[in-house]
């Protein structure tokens, strides 16, 4: 807890989620449901971190949060599964109550609180994950999200299931989808602050071509690709390697 004053306001107490680092540029107040937030934008001179010699491709998954081209797996956080069922229950609670009733209002508040909790936990997870990657990598190649969103299909085909095919409900999927954009924004900001490089590549076919020979693979399961030459491979790892190669990094085949 800290405290401060704003023009026209009394002294207010604030709960700081993260320490404020750098020179403060702007302060913004935002109201969400019944809570107020202070959004602090700061300016920081980049502090270049020492070179690590590590360059990776990073691929987003569904069963996993992400995988790196050198074999590191970032698992989905445990809170995700737990909160998805809680959210579903809270959503049912809202629809069961009569519109305009007090119960309905309370149920909606409960639901909003869960969404807030999820958003906070997810953001913390994104900050921690991005921090680890920035500390251990010089260059990180990722799919260009703007292009990804345009091209990737929600359903896919039997041969090449879309990456969005979530194992569970649409709720689960929307939670994961919302997460990746925020994570990339956090990763980019931290990269800038640390003098690291993030390279965005065209995501076309990165999930379905073999990273060793470029042949088109079959995808018998969501987590496996099958190259006619090289056989079965982990789908996320293969994707991450393709992303690395496409960024002109690593020793792989030029894609
Ligand atoms: Zn191959």
| Res. 156: pLDDT tops 70 | no
Task: Give the closest residue to 137 by CA, choosing from 74, 208, 182.
Answer: 74
What does 148-165 look like in DSSP terms, one character per residue?
Answer: HHHH--SS--SSS--TT-
Residues, CB-to-ion distance under 5 Å, ligand 1: 210, 212-213, 215, 227, 229-230
What spacing in Å lies between the alpha carbon of 211 and ligand 1's midpoint? 7
Annotation says 236 is catalytic: yes
Helices (H) and strands (E) in the chain, counts: 5, 12
| Res. 167: pLDDT tops 70 | no
pLDDT at 66: 92
Digit-coded pLDDT (tens) for 110-128 = 999 998 888 888 899 999 9
Q: What is the pTM of this model?
A: 0.77
Which of helix, strand or coil describes residue 58?
A: strand
| Res. 253: pLDDT tops 60 | no
Mean pLDDT across the chain: 83
Q: What share of the chain is helix, strand, coil (3-state, %, to 5)?
A: 40, 25, 35
d(CA 110, CA 99): 15
Annotation says 138 is catalytic: no
pLDDT at 139: 97
Digit-coded pLDDT (tens) for 181-227 = 889 999 999 999 999 999 999 989 999 999 999 999 999 988 899 99
DSSP secondary-structure letter at 76? P
Annotation says 143 is catalytic: yes
Q: Where are the alpha helices (DSSP H) in 97-141?
A: 102-136
Band the pLDDT of 164: cuts 50, 70, 90: very low
Which of helix, strand or coil describes residue 174?
A: helix
């Amino acid at each position: 807890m800290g405290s401060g004053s704003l023009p026209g306001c009394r002294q207010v107490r604030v709960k700081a989620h993260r320490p404020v680092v750098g020179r403060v540029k702007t302060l913004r107040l935002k109201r969400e449901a019944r809570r107020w937030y202070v959004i602090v934008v700061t300016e920081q001179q980049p502090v270049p971190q020492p070179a690590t010699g590590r360059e990776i491709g990073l691929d987003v998954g569904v069963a996993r949060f992400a995988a790196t081209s050198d074999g590191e797996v970032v698992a989905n956080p445990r809170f995700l599964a737990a909160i998805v069922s809680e959210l579903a229950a809270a959503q049912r609670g809202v629809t069961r109550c009569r519109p305009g009733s007090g119960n309905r209002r309370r149920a909606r508040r409960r639901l909003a609180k869960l969404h807030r909790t999820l958003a906070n936990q997810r953001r913390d997870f994104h900050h921690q994950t991005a921090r680890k990657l920035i500390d251990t990598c010089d260059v990180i190649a990722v799919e260009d999200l703007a292009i990804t969103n345009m091209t990737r299909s929600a359903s896919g085909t039997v041969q090449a299931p879309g990456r969005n095919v979530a194992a569970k409900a649409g709720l689960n999927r929307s939670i994961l989808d919302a997460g990746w954009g925020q994570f990339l924004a956090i990763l980019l900001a931290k990269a800038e602050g640390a003098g690291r490089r993030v390279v965005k590549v065209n995501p076309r076919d990165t999930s379905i071509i073999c990273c060793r020979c470029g042949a088109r693979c079959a995808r018998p399961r969501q987590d496996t690709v099958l190259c006619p030459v090289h056989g079965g491979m982990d789908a996320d790892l293969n994707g991450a390697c393709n992303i690395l190669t496409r960024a002109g990094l690593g020793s792989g085949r030029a894609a």
